Structure 1
Amino acid sequence: MAAVVLVHGLYHRPEHFALVAERLRTAGTEVLVPELHRGSLSADTAAVQAVIDSLPEPPTVLGHSYGGSVITGVRGAGHLVYLAAFVPDGGESAAGLGGASPQLQDAIRPEPDGSTSLRPDRVADILYGDCPEPLAAWAVGLLRAQAPGCGRGIPQRHSWKHTPSTYVVCAQDRAIDPAVQRKMASHCTDVREWQTDHSPFVGQPGLVVGLLQELLAADTSRWPDEGVTRCVGTGDL
């Protein structure tokens, strides 16, 4: 069975991918959505790696926003999808790449325990501008506090250097500058551009489902001819 691993970004939860996951599962695709918020980029990457390692074939792995830093460090993916996501190169972190809009920065509030959260009254338009109000309110209600430091983590390997990859630029993004996205997209094998906000998996899930199904079909058609080799080593190969 074809498999997809969906990796959320900062402040988000696996439930934010519910609309995409439901449609893919209905179509017969296995979908796994690991929980991040493990306290560091390395711990988040290890959590996603464990999911990939549990699968019999290399999955298509999608990372959103900060999730791009996470999937950059994994081994054994068949295809990487960066959705308005960070694509760090050697020595780079998501925070170092920049691109966060002034509106997003203004919506971040510090919490007493050192974590940060997003102000509910400000983030709906920034993250979910394509959504009707009830859907945006649902997505905002799922947001959670974020431990400090994850965005400053530096991946220990760079899987896009040896794994087919697709970057999706969200051209109406109010959270990460689309110009920064286009620059990062130059690392990827293929680039798409959608006229969407930062979170099309909420506002326009059909676009995300359609892309993943297209990539799964293309990858599956190659397996019988090329075979499948899972990379289990460490470092950039």
Structure 2
Amino acid sequence: MGGRAAAVLVHGLYHRPEHFAPVADGLRAEGVEVVVPELHRGSLAADTAAVQAAVDALEGPPLLLGHSYGGSVITGVRGARHLVYLAAFVPDVGESAAALGGASPQLRDAVVPGEGADGATRLDPGRAADLLYGDCPGPLAARAVGLLRPQAPGCGRGVPEHHGWKLVPSTYVVCAGDRALDPALQRTLAARCTGVREWATGHSPFVSRPALVVDLVAELFGTVSART
């Protein structure tokens, strides 16, 4: 497969591309071209289109990594060489992230209704640190919480029109210490993927253990290269 190794990293709800900065820097140091699109486009279809545009702009098929809701996004994107689902949703035909469920009661309690006309919600920062970054040192968790942004409603109810995991190799990473997305649901969704890993991390290893993510992606590029 020609072209430089490339990875597209897709964040989840409430997050920003900046949350993936340590992983992006680590992959670039390994010679991988990295793109981290900004989501929050208002719907799953719009978020998917933004990532599709990033994929189409690359020389060759990239590895796509989706975290949490980002799994729904990468599922609908065409042209990937490998899909990585990091504590993420892997929807099948007619399924949405919301329909699959799995959000912990603590996560649901942490959602603060918006006051604006757009109905956007946010996460209570006092609860988000423990839920999303509970395995991070305090200052690192505080920085990650500070990057969180409000989220428009409805994205999680979107249903992908394409299901890439049925067509290309995929790897699921179960985060066994996840306090936001039920690890039992993660293991069920992982059965849809080609390969499965399980890490003893919380919901956001790209913050708490970025080297784990970098090493996995580098390993998968080696596997793909050997097979192509």
Normalising by structure 2, what TM-score? 0.97
Give 1:221 shift: 2.3
Counterparts of 2:135 and 2:63, CA distance in 1: 26
State, as a whole percentage, how many aligned pairs show the same letter.
71
Give 1:29 shift: 0.8
Superposed counterparts of 1:224-235, under 5 Å: none
Give 1:112 shift: 1.2
Superposed counterparts of 1:105-184, under 5 Å: 105-113=108-116, 114-184=119-189
Residue aligning to 1:31: 34
Counterparts of 2:38 and 2:104, CA distance in 1: 25
Selected match of 1:19 from 12, 17, 22: 22
Instruction: Say what the alpha-carbon RMSD is for the aligned residues.
Output: 0.6
Does residue 78 (structure 1) correspond to residue 81 (structure 2)? The answer is: yes
Equivalent pairs counted in the alignment come to: 223
What secondary structure does 2:26 align onto? helix
Counterparts of 2:110 and 2:153, CA distance in 1: 16
Give 1:218 shift: 1.1
**What runs of 5+ residues in structure 1 fail to find an aligned partner?**
224-237
Counterparts of 1:24 and 1:164, CA distance in 2: 20
Does residue 206 (structure 1) correspond to residue 208 (structure 2)? The answer is: no
Counterparts of 1:154 and 1:199, CA distance in 2: 24
Runs of 4+ in 1 over 3 A off after TM superposition: none
| 1:191-228 Cα distance to aligned partner (Å, 9 max, x none) | 110000000000001110010000011112233xxxxx
Give 1:73 shift: 0.2
| 1:69-110 Cα distance to aligned partner (Å, 9 max, x none) | 000001000000000000000100000000000110000001
Residue aligning to 2:10: 7
| 1:139-188 Cα distance to aligned partner (Å, 9 max, x none) | 00000000000000000011100110000000000000000000011110
Counterparts of 1:117 and 1:220, CA distance in 2: 41
Counterparts of 1:13 and 1:30, CA distance in 2: 19
